[in-house]
Amino acid sequence: MRYLMTTKPTDAAPDERLYAEMAAFVEELTAAGVLLATGGLEPGGVRVTSSGDEITVTDGPFAEAKEAVAGFALVEVRSKEEAIELTRRFRKIVGDGESVIQQVF
């Protein structure tokens, strides 16, 4: 089962300890074949909406920037519970904040 784990931005500045712990976590998951992709996302982005035949393109940033996704990890695991456990481990490393887990079909 594939899960997309996303995280929202925080005001906390990363430090050397965070970089070291995240590098070890990413290396562990990559070696286990669980981690398929990771990345950070630009804060602004572009919103594309459709209504009937009309397509509207709006450049960001948007009013609720703190609700936007700041980064992601795509993992392949055996269960939802395993995805939750990986996200718990991630949150313990990065500290306070919010992540969302969604199954990829």
- Superfamily name and number for 2-104: Dimeric alpha+beta barrel (3.30.70.1060)
Q: What is the mean pLDDT of residues 99-105?
A: 96
Q: Which amino acid is at 7?
A: T
Position 63 scores a pLDDT of 67
Query: Of 93, 44, 91, 89, which is closest to residue 64 (Cα–Cα)?
Result: 44
- Rounded to whole angstroms, the Cα distance separating 34 from 86 reads 10
Lowest average pLDDT, out of 10-14, 62-66, 82-86, 100-104, goes to 62-66
CB 47 within 8 A of CB 63: no
Distances (CA, A) of 7 to 13, 42, 68, 76: 15, 13, 9, 17
pLDDT at 74 > cutoff 90: yes
What is the value of pTM for the model shown? 0.83
Q: What is the pLDDT of residues 5-37, one digit of tens each?
A: 999 888 888 889 999 999 999 999 999 999 999
The residues that bridge with 3 in the sheet, in sequence order, are 75, 103
